[in-house]
Chain A
Amino acid sequence: MQLTVWTYEGPPHVGAMRVATGMRDLHYVLHAPQGDTYADLLFTMIERRDHRPPVTYTTFQARDLGKDTAELFKKAARDAYDRFQPQAMIVGSSCTAELIQDDPHGLSLTMGLECPVIPLELPSYSRKENWGASETFYQIVRTLADKERRPPPAVAESGPRRPRANLLGPTALGFRHRDDVVEISRLLADLGIDVNLVAPMGASPADIVRIGEADFNICLYPEIAAQACSWLERTFRQKTVKTVPIGLNATREFVAEVCAVAGITVPADLDQGRMGWWSRSIDSTYLTGKRVFIFGDGTHAVAAARVASEELGFKVVGLGCYNREFAREVRAAAEKYGVEPLISDDYLAVEEAIEAAAPELVLGTQMERHIAKRLRLPCAVISAPVHVQDFPARHSPQMGFEGANVLFDTWVHPLVMGLEEHLLTMFREDFEFSDAAGPSHLGGHASSPLPSSREGLGEGSASETAAETATLAALAPSPDPSLAGRGEVEGWTAEALAELGKIPFFVRGKARRNTERYAAEHGVTTITRDTLYEAKSHYAR
């Protein structure tokens, strides 16, 4: 048993959900107990999807245990097929169903459903989310790809055709997958290359059937697509572009590799964005040698280390990943930068390593953001897992030349603000700088207090912002400047003050102002607990 408070990855069936939710006209029947539907809210809340994930859960309960659960599975699969009429289904077990050993595959075979049914074996007690996504995508491709399909002849009667590629790897709940696909598709179009298929994201089972019609594959996210790409290489002789285009130099290499595979020359006039100049401009000089600690999934961490050292002039003082499957790549990169690789999914180990490395900037996941906040270090997010704020409304890819622009802004901003904070501290005795004004982006204090009562379930960011505000909110009331000079308000009784302290911090300030205004307007000189509630009811709107 492993004692865990925080996990970087969910169970493997969540990886399968990410593939299914990314696709169209595919349905996932998941043999799972009541309660496992919680995973839906990752998609509807964090990624803000406007449809339910295409997942039917059998949601068995204790009274169903025994042979009943197999019947329950069959009924759920039948109902799901009848209702959603998918082009294909994937079926499998969550961790609990794995223990009760119904056989979703065998059961669904006997049902004679009128669509392909792809069984998934996802070992919940040894594997995790990324592995689940990779395995699911691989099984879907392997089952559905029509092995007879090949790309049309390179030169037809009408003349030579443009090369075509598959973009493989993007899923639902992927960190910036949506915008990376847009960015890379645009880049390929500029190079004169057509996209045959983007998968899993946006693809239907019918689309997967014609995966063999591309000349080559682009493995955008190796965590998810490497296994499928290697099978496609063997089966269709499609070459795989393996450079992950995160960062300016990696994108240039990506372009070179794509052009070589596609048999075209690299255009001389390719727009390479602003990142290169921004980094060379003298304003960026102070970035030189900044100590940076990098942690995330293997692919994003390795790419970030390269950008940090080659393109921004930082010094990499720590590098690691949480997904063991990519330990080899991370070890190789760590050796290049002369640091000890950290392969761990224990956030306490990561926290220790960060403290030991004493970086000036942390690049990591949501978890490192919180560690950095605790240690009062600037931080930027480079990898999943992430909260809702890292599924932004605006276009913000990590890949390609625009992605490099985004990386520059995102990583440098906390540092500029860090400098601002430093100046604030230096000059804090000056009358213009209030000592109470905390840094604008680090949450204020080294240890933030616990959220006060019951808020915080579900959508993370709202309560988080509230928690940050709380660190600045004064617990006891202080004279409201707008009331100064009126003179009617003498003060609060101890009992009323205590009551005020119990009000959730995010409305406490409002409650205090309203009560004092109410007291002033009604000629109340001593604010009692009742005054507090009289005011509350008076102003309730």
Chain B
Amino acid sequence: MSSAGPASGCDAPPVGVDGILRERGQREVFCGLTGIIWLHRKIQDAFFLVVGSRTCAHLLQSAAGVMVFAEPRFGTAIIEEKDLAGLADANEELDRVVNRLLARRPDIKLLFLVGSCPSEVIKLDLSRAAQRLNGRFSPNVRVLNYSGSGIETTFTQGEDACLSALVPDLAFSDEKQLMIVGSLPDIVEDQLTRLLGDLGIGKIVSLPARLAGQMPGVGPNTKYLLAQPFLAETGTALDKRGAEHLPALFPFGAEGTTAWLHAAAQAFGVSEARFEQVIAGPRERARKGLALYREKLAGKRIFFMPDSQLEVPLARFLAGELGMELVEVGTPYLHKGHLIDELAALPPGTMISEGQDVDKQLDRVRAARPDLTVCGLGLANPLEKEGLSTKWAIELVFSPIHGYEQAGDLAELFARPLHRRDLLRV
């Protein structure tokens, strides 16, 4: 697959000994603040207060689109010139903003102070601010902090930072339980929890929970499944609390979901017969749903630009279950530990790239002319204009795509742009 790169030898991308291309240069990605947009929907009594600049507020507004008008539970404390003059002043200002906010929104039970590039660069200590505010508002409101800054986090890493800030705060629990880690649309979370329950796994909890007061406990008898591939820090934090990670494929497609459930089944001593009995029906439905798209997608060449870290599992699903050819699988960050099964399940020789130099990567896209390029909204229309079909990547983070019942929908997301291209006569 490396032959897909540009022809000129001196421009050949630097592929490491592990066969993975690592690039540094201009990156066309969101920062971690964007995670707020789905996290605030998931945790229904939490408020996300970004401490940042007008750019941060403008980003959230642009990314959240119309949600901004629905009394969202997020906002930005915009740093002004006078805050830059002295840091003590900035702390007082922050307290004033939080006081006003909590007075206006007495329903808030969990407040996240979210760091940004400006607040990190001026070294405004949000963890101390959170401690101070906790002292004042406890026990009515819990105040936590994490950083969603672009200098530290890329897009979905914002969720990782948020969840890993939650972990030390979780109660201790010695109970034997399975924890699903990663925020999922409610319907998907319910489906997966139900299947795991049907397997006979007694206690199943989710991180994050839907309410601040219902966050699960954690302890040495907790085994956890990651529902999302971008939870490196959260995994580490859970390990520190004594919980045990169950390595598995991520639950995309029929095979991914089966492997994911199977990891839990094995860890909780569920018999193979029972496992087969529980999953047979839904798995069959997923396969049936996928069959419809296989003929449309098989043999089509796909290129992933880096965005969400979902790229590797999705590429595995598209290649393995739908027969697509992988030109390049770009990811902003590759956690080899959590992706060990995924990497093994990719077709041999798949070109994986970590990081980005966007202009060089676009050169590779143009040279390879894939049938479908998965990319961000800043690149999609320009590539379409060049005659390259695109699938904008953000939709993959916002749509229900995990589990058996969504397998067909997930395939459809990739088939739709190709179908539309064939349909249009304009």
Contacts and interface: CB of A to CB of B under 8 A. Distances in A.
Contact of A10 (B55, B94, B96): B55
A541 interface: yes
A278 to B, nearest CB: 33
Contact of A6 (B61, B117, B289): B61
Contacts of B61: 6-7
A49 B381 contact: yes
Interface stretch (A50-58, A308-316, A485-493): A50-58
B257 to A, nearest CB: 14
Interface string B253-284: 00000000000000000000000000001100
DSSP majority for the B interface? Answer: helix
Contacts of B31: 33-36, 38
B190 interface: yes
Given A1-B78, A41-B62, A459-B65, A36 B185 contact: no
Given A2-B80, A3-B100, A11-B58, A457 B398 contact: yes
A49 B377 CA distance: 11
B71 to A, nearest CB: 8
Interface in A526-541: 530, 533-534, 536-537, 540-541
B151 A34 contact: yes
A10 B79 contact: no
A382 B248 CA distance: 54
Choose among A99, A464, A530 the residue with the greatest number of B CB atoms under 10 Å from its CB: A99
Contact of A125 (B63, B84, B149, B405): B84
Nearest to A61: B151
Chain A interface size range: 35 or more
Interface in A176-232: none
Contacts of B11: none
Contacts of B382: 44, 49-52
B75 interface: yes
A537 B75 contact: no
A457 B63 contact: yes
A35 B29 contact: yes
B236 interface: no
Interface stretch (B118-126, B134-142, B224-232, B319-327): B118-126
Nearest to B405: A533
Contacts of A48: 381
Contacts of B397: 454, 457
A540 B118 contact: no
Interface string B63-80: 111111111101111111
B377 A34 contact: no
A453 B400 contact: yes
Nearest to A453: B185
Given A1-B97, A533-B285, A52 B66 contact: no
A541 B359 contact: no
B83 interface: yes
Given A4-B57, A11-B58, A457 B64 contact: yes
Nearest to B282: A533
A126 interface: yes
B165 to A, nearest CB: 17
Contact of B58 (A7, A58, A461): A7
A83 B362 CA distance: 12
Contacts of A45: 377, 381
A56 B76 CA distance: 26
A96 B25 CA distance: 18
Interface stretch (B1-9, B33-41, B169-177, B343-351): B33-41
B54 A5 contact: no
Choose among B77, B151, B292, B392 the residue with the greatest number of A CB atoms under 10 Å from its CB: B151
Contacts of B185: 453-454
8 contacts: A1-B96, A3-B77, A10-B55, A37-B378, A49-B382, A76-B26, A460-B66, A464-B65
Interface of B: 25-34, 37-38, 41, 51, 53-55, 57-59, 61-72, 74-81, 83-84, 90, 93-94, 96-97, 100-101, 117-118, 120-122, 149-152, 154, 185-187, 190, 281-282, 285-286, 288-289, 292, 359, 376-382, 384-385, 392, 394, 397-400, 405, 408-409, 412
**In the complex, the 9 A-B pairs of residues with the closest C-beta atoms, listed nearest first:** A35-B31, A35-B150, A40-B378, A50-B385, A460-B65, A454-B398, A96-B117, A95-B53, A537-B285
Given A3-B76, A540-B412, 11 more contacts: A35-B31, A41-B376, A58-B26, A61-B150, A94-B55, A96-B53, A99-B121, A453-B187, A453-B400, A457-B37, A540-B289
Interface of A: 1-7, 9-11, 13-14, 33-42, 44-45, 48-53, 56-62, 64-65, 76, 79, 83, 94-96, 99-100, 123-126, 128, 367, 370, 387, 448-451, 453-461, 463-464, 467, 499, 502-504, 530, 533-534, 536-537, 540-541
